[in-house]
Amino acid sequence: MSGLARAVEEYLAIRRALGFKLDQHGRLLPTFAAFLDDAGASFVTTDLALGWAREHEVSLTRSRQRLSMARGFARHLATIDPRTQVPPSTLLASGARASRRAVPYLYSSEDLAGLMIAARELRPLQAATYETLIGLLAVTGVRIGEAIRLDRDDLDDEHSLLLVRDTKFNKSREVPLHETTLAAVHDYLRRRDELCARATGPALFISTVGTRVSYKVVQPTFARLCERAGLQPRSPRCRPRLHDLRHSLAVSTLLDWYRSGPDVGALLPRLSTVLGHTDPASTYWYLQAAPELLALAACRLQRAAQDLS
């Protein structure tokens, strides 16, 4: 095994120990090391990283993803080998297209009410499942994949908690539930058992045939509910998505904090814990999601600066 191949293994092991899954990285970065070895290189160069990213004439989006993986590995390697060149983030960027993160679609209370009404128009079991699923996503901020994987036993009635297992970073967390949310979930369980007695598995949310709901069915169903509720894209990069229910909870929580006056910096780790972020810095991204939130944060900073002057 070459030195670069060993370095890839060490890099992946370190990042996985921090909780990252890195499935694609695990498949592709060894091929990057092999590409470098075939080129006779003993360290990473920008030209070789770009060549590997564009190998096999993959799409521009795919090339960017591959280059991002190579860049992360190069940053790690640069701490060990000063000859390493870290490819600049501007490579393969094209103006506004360089930023590919979607703009969050922040749902208002009216939007959520419209989605609930639309869900009730589905067939009885579907109606119960989607109304409860959407409600749970909106008030807890759990990811859709986490919600789909929930089992009945993940409800802790005694402590009003929801146990979220197998999260994005291979860690479990407990999410507090309001008593009304817990009651709504139990109402759903009673209703689904009446409508589908053959559901014998552990899944919390079930399909019309009694099996665990799947994302490939939930996503298009949610898109149809958005159409029925009259939710339209606000821009090419701002369309209603399931994941934006999570964004909306985060932004509304931060808005409430900034308006009511507590120390947001001190409270932020709580929100990060509920959302399953490994670092509060990830939660700070939501400050960019709503102009009103950014303005409130700026005012708070300005007042703090005036107090110090």
Task: Return the amino acid letter for 157.
Answer: D
- Catalytic residue numbers? 143, 168, 243, 246, 277, 286
pLDDT digits (tens, 9 = 90+) for 208-244: 999 999 999 999 999 999 999 999 998 887 899 999 9
Give yes or no for a contact between 33 and 8, defined as CB atoms under 8 angstroms apart.
Answer: yes
**Considering only 35-44, 94-103, 177-186, 230-239, which range has the smallest mean pLDDT?**
94-103
Q: What confidence tier does 299 reach under pLDDT thresholds 50, 70, 90?
A: low
pLDDT class of 309 with cuts at 50, 70, 90: low
How far is it, in rounded angstroms, from Cα 104 to Cα 178? 25
Higher-pLDDT residue of 253 and 258 is 253
**Average pLDDT value for the chain:** 86
> Which of 38-42, 89-93, 144-148, 159-163 has the least mean pLDDT?
89-93
* Residue 131: other Cβ atoms inside 10 A: 21
Higher pLDDT, 35 or 296: 35
Distances in Å between the Cα of 149 and the Cα atoms of 144, 211, 227 are 9, 12, 26
Residues 6+ apart with CB under 8 A from 241: 102, 105
Beta strands 161-164 and 155-156 are antiparallel
Write the pLDDT tens digit of every residue in 84-128.
999 998 888 754 444 456 778 989 999 999 999 999 999 999 999
What is the reported pLDDT for 86?
Answer: 93
Residue 81 near residue 16, CB atoms below 8 Å: no
Assess whether pLDDT exceeds 60 at residue 46.
yes
pLDDT of residue 276: 85
pLDDT, position 139: 96
| Tens digit of each residue's pLDDT (9 = 90 or more) over 258-290 | 788 777 778 888 888 888 887 666 676 665 556
Confidence band of 8 (pLDDT split at 50, 70, 90): very high
Specify the pLDDT at position 95.
Answer: 47
| Range 154-172 average pLDDT | 86
Q: What is the mean pLDDT of residues 170-198?
A: 92
Confidence of residue 257 (pLDDT cuts 50, 70, 90): confident
Residue 97: predicted pLDDT: 46
Alpha carbon dihedral 108, 225, 206, 208, in 10-degree steps, equals 160
CA atoms within 13 A on the CB side of 4: 21
- Among 71-75, 106-110, 149-153, 287-291, the minimum mean pLDDT is found in 287-291
